[in-house]
A and B are shown apart, each in its own frame.
Chain A
Amino acid sequence: MNDRFSAIGKNVPRIDALDKVTGSAKYAPDLSVRGMLHGALLRSPYPHAKVVGIDAAKARSLPGVRAVVTLDDVPRIVGYWFFLRSEKKEKEMLIRDNVVRFIGDPVLAVAADDQETALAAVSMIEVNYEPLQSIFDPQEALDQSDVTIHEKGNAAFHVTKHYGDIEQGFKDADYVIENRFVTSKQKHAPLEPIGTCIADWDGAGKLTVYTSTQLPNWSQMYLARALGLPNNRVRVIKPYTGGAFGGRCGLIHGLEVMCAFLSRRTGKPVRMSFSRTEDFTGTETRHPMIIDMKTGFTKEGILTANRINIVANVGGYSTHSIGVLANCLSTGVGLYRCPNVYFDATAVYTNQSLTGAFRGYGNPQMNFAQESQMDIIARHLDMDPVALRLKNYRGLGEIDPVFYDEIRSEALRECLTKASEAFGWKERESRRKAEETTKSGFGMAIMLHGTGAAGALPDPASATVMIGSDGSVQLVTSASDEGQGNRTALAQIAAEEIGVGFDRISVSMPDTDLTPLDGGTHGSRQTYAGGLAVKKAAADAKTKLLAFAAKDLGTEERDLDIKDGIVLNAKDPSVHLKIGDLMRKIQISDMSICEQIIGVSSGVAPAMPGYYGATFAEVEVDTETGEVRVVKVVGAFDVGKAINPANVEGQITGGAVMGIGWALTEELLLEEGRILNDSFRDYRILRACDVGEIVPIIVESNEPTGPFGAKGAGEGTMVGVAPAVANAVYDAIGARMKELCITPEKILEALDRIGMAVS
């Protein structure tokens, strides 16, 4: 790594590591407010019904029960900050009716002295439902007009985009293939269950909510609208968060808003904490998608036409659906050069459980289809899969067709070279097991993911840098860290920019009373967009500091710099002014000044740079049992610049394991809207003893618009893993697995079909 940086590119220990390893870090379930009550939800057992009557008399008479609030009192909040763009759109974010739309949809909330009483009270309440006809299949929901889940119909959103002439494109092709790919309903399942909050009103009618949200500022606004308050009468404080992966990308359905209403009704703080079961059944998941892809290509392996039709199953309510569809477009269309593209995606309501944002935001689904298709093309042409990618990907200097912006940094070729070397791709035949019942398989995939959402969504980032009277630095930002380590990376950026040691930076926790507007931690954007804001604010602070220093030293500002907390003059080596001494002077001892250095910035990033990656996977398939074992995964990712390489490696390894899970073991199974596997026992996440060899590789292409060259990393490290595994399975057994999850039963079915079964 470079030596010209003092903090950038260094594996500094995370600023919160000590807190976490000692058990002193406080997450939402660890918080308490004196006198708080406990809330519990009564959830619908029906997938679609009208609530026509509630009898809570028995519950209300239970000692310790303090309040009941219902759908008559509390609106459901849907949509996301895209809807905040206008007053009219904002109103669409609140649903006020008495219809429940999935099994688990909250009907009412109870507050009681303790959780046991609250749960007992819930079980005593009788609710009269008028069951309505339910629909679970998205195609059925589109075709049937007599079952409407929402007033405006079952098609929630529709995104289309055309380039060129698709029919001509197919005519220009030597070969045309068409395939259907189906992806499964994955659950974030972070170790801290989604979710816990405490709502507390003060005597003047201001609400404070402690909740782990990825979007403190947007969540503040959602709550303010739901409660009919101005923004500044709602305070959102985010404690430590035990993982999110998109599962906390806003408010949690029925959590904060029900809690706020209970608190207002009782005049006491109220805490509500979902169980793991409620996490599995009542919170958002990955959109299951049916992707039909028809691709035309020449015998040289050049793409001529690509028709992409997507039907996404939204479930009962939509939050991020339109963004997820649009993201399929930018990566589905952005990754490869193709002159004729027809993209048509529909998000459809059904009475299944919720969907929302999830690591990759549509890209994993789109990429699974695309990279499986490319593998089929490579096989068809007997071409090296790597060579096929290199022929078609859109590279440095080209224009991304969705946002019409130039690709200013891109090192995909280097990713492919390094990953294939570490994997032993060229020599893979020599280690191929072709025993009677164990077959080796090798596969790969590439990926592109956008950093941030500048130009596509409202994407502000702000930061304040306050220099203390002793020269220590307080970085104030709404940046929400769910475990990625972005607060540490931002501290590194601030330290580097100002010229102080990394250990001199302290970073705030998000608190909307104090930390300025930030678009949230999503879209792999915090290091990039948050980093740019921090860098600007730090530069602002540095400029102001050097102005004071110049005056103090009687020199020109432009000759001064700061290194390791000391102001130096390139032209005069005798200058050695500790910034702590200077700050004491201007803040305290020189009573004619009394000024603190405060650097400020707020704005939007100049671009949405793509980051790239290549994943290679080796599997072994037991052809008697159908079991697939992932032996090795190598992932190389171009992240522009790794501010903290250990952080990036963590994302690559973690992303690989999550991707393997999505390919082989993780899917929520539903029957008539009921989730059958609502626990870790039956929703299978990989454990330490399940993971084979994973090799993370960092590649740096230095994004010119990024802080010190950085781009994103968090989501893309999962994209490409599932198709790499699926392509490896094809290599092992000659059967194409187009539907996730790939299970042993599906493997045996496939082997039976091609006559290769041995059991």
Chain B
Amino acid sequence: MPELTIRICVNGAWHELTVKPYERLVDALRERLGLTGTKVGCGEGECGACTVKVDGKAVLSCLTLAVQADGKRITTIEGLRQGTELHPIQKAFVDGGAAQCGFCTPGMIVAADAMLQHNPDPSEEEVRVALSNNLCRCTGYEKPVKAVLKAARILRGENDE
């Protein structure tokens, strides 16, 4: 099986990887780079637990081949924290009790981050649509949505009430 060499930038660091043509990006991230924060919940694009950012856009890494990510910049959940400083979305999730079992949490936070980069002042409806690929079985979505709205306020520099 001939393998392909790709160069991908993950959370700011470039990596050269040798991958199979049909290898999924999620598997390259988890197995080759040890970044297990991105999860596999279904492998069919329905649950969103594998959400990462590729060149700033939220995508499903279980439906992306590693070779398709060649030359691109990828952000996973592990890349949101700046040193020891939590990203405001992460902090809002912690403070707001928005992570229950936590399995959907990384995908949800990355999807929210991607949305806020493009739409920094979303309505609640827009947040729910942006998170519509991220299934959650535990929370009923209430606290995660509130946490994203709170993080949006903080990122806009508004005083949080």
Q: Which B85-123 residues have a C-beta within 8 angstroms of A?
A: 86, 90, 93-97, 99-106, 109
Q: Does B134 contact A (CB under 8 A)?
A: yes
A654 and B77 contacting across the interface, CB-CB below 8 Å? no
Listed by A's residue number, 8 A-B pairs whose Cβ atoms lie within 8 Å are: A13-B97, A14-B94, A19-B102, A21-B106, A23-B35, A191-B39, A483-B138, A687-B133
Interface centre among A241, A243, A681, by most chain B C-beta atoms within 10 angstroms, is: A243
The 8 Å CB contact of A681, one of B38, B46, B95, is B46
A688 and B145 contacting across the interface, CB-CB below 8 Å? yes
Determine, out of A24-32, A65-73, A370-378, A397-405, the stretch whose residues face the partner at the interface: A24-32
Q: Does A506 contact B (CB under 8 A)?
A: no
Total A-B residue contacts, Cβ distance less than 8 Å: 180
Can you add 14 more A-B contacts, CB < 8 Å, to A13-B94, A646-B97, A689-B129?
Answer: A17-B99, A22-B37, A22-B78, A27-B103, A29-B36, A190-B101, A192-B103, A193-B42, A242-B39, A242-B101, A243-B100, A483-B101, A650-B139, A680-B42
Q: Which A627-678 residues have a C-beta within 8 angstroms of B?
A: 644, 646-647, 649-650, 653-658
A29 and B40 contacting across the interface, CB-CB below 8 Å? yes
- Asked, given contacts A21-B90, A650-B138, whether A680 binds B102 with beta carbons under 8 Å apart, the answer is no
Give the interface of A toward B (CB within 8 A). 11, 13-14, 16-27, 29-30, 188-193, 240-243, 245, 275-276, 482-485, 644, 646-647, 649-650, 653-658, 679-681, 685, 687-689, 691, 694, 696
Q: Does B128 contact A (CB under 8 A)?
A: yes
- Across-interface contacts of B76 in A (CB, < 8 A): 23
B142 and A483 contacting across the interface, CB-CB below 8 Å? no
A11 and B102 contacting across the interface, CB-CB below 8 Å? no
Nearest chain B residue, comparing its CB with the CB of A647: B97
Q: Measured between C-beta atoms, what is the minimum distance from B67 to chain A in Å? A: 17
A650 and B143 contacting across the interface, CB-CB below 8 Å? yes
B77 and A23 contacting across the interface, CB-CB below 8 Å? yes
B103 and A23 contacting across the interface, CB-CB below 8 Å? no
Nearest chain B residue, comparing its CB with the CB of A24: B37
Main secondary structure of the interface of B (DSSP, over half): loop
Q: Does B131 contact A (CB under 8 A)?
A: yes
- Across-interface contacts of B6 in A (CB, < 8 A): none
A21 and B99 contacting across the interface, CB-CB below 8 Å? yes
Nearest chain A residue, comparing its CB with the CB of B144: A688
B137 and A245 contacting across the interface, CB-CB below 8 Å? yes
- Across-interface contacts of A19 in B (CB, < 8 A): 102
Number of interface residues of B (CB under 8 A): 54
B97 and A650 contacting across the interface, CB-CB below 8 Å? yes
A23 and B131 contacting across the interface, CB-CB below 8 Å? no
The 8 Å CB contact of A657, one of B35, B100, B109, B141, is B141
B101 and A681 contacting across the interface, CB-CB below 8 Å? no
- Across-interface contacts of A26 in B (CB, < 8 A): 36
- Asked, given contacts A18-B94, A484-B100, A485-B100, whether A23 binds B38 with beta carbons under 8 Å apart, the answer is yes
A483 and B100 contacting across the interface, CB-CB below 8 Å? yes
Q: Measured between C-beta atoms, what is the minimum distance from B8 to chain A in Å? A: 18
A243 and B78 contacting across the interface, CB-CB below 8 Å? no
- Across-interface contacts of A656 in B (CB, < 8 A): 140
- Across-interface contacts of A657 in B (CB, < 8 A): 140-141
The 8 Å CB contact of A685, one of B102, B105, B135, B139, is B135
- How far is B146's CA from A694's CA once the two chains are assembled, in angstroms? 13
Q: Measured between C-beta atoms, what is the minimum distance from B79 to chain A in Å? A: 9
Q: Does B81 contact A (CB under 8 A)?
A: yes
A691 and B140 contacting across the interface, CB-CB below 8 Å? yes
Nearest chain A residue, comparing its CB with the CB of B109: A21
Q: Measured between C-beta atoms, what is the minimum distance from B124 to chain A in Å? A: 10
Q: Does B56 contact A (CB under 8 A)?
A: no
- Across-interface contacts of A650 in B (CB, < 8 A): 97, 100, 138-140, 142-143
A654 and B135 contacting across the interface, CB-CB below 8 Å? no
A192 and B42 contacting across the interface, CB-CB below 8 Å? no
A21 and B145 contacting across the interface, CB-CB below 8 Å? no
- Across-interface contacts of A189 in B (CB, < 8 A): 137
B90 and A658 contacting across the interface, CB-CB below 8 Å? no
- Across-interface contacts of A241 in B (CB, < 8 A): 101
Q: Measured between C-beta atoms, what is the minimum distance from A366 to chain B in Å? A: 23
Q: Does B68 contact A (CB under 8 A)?
A: no
- How far is B101's CA from A658's CA once the two chains are assembled, in angstroms? 15
B99 and A14 contacting across the interface, CB-CB below 8 Å? yes
Nearest chain A residue, comparing its CB with the CB of B135: A685
- Across-interface contacts of A192 in B (CB, < 8 A): 39, 41, 101, 103
Q: Does B136 contact A (CB under 8 A)?
A: yes
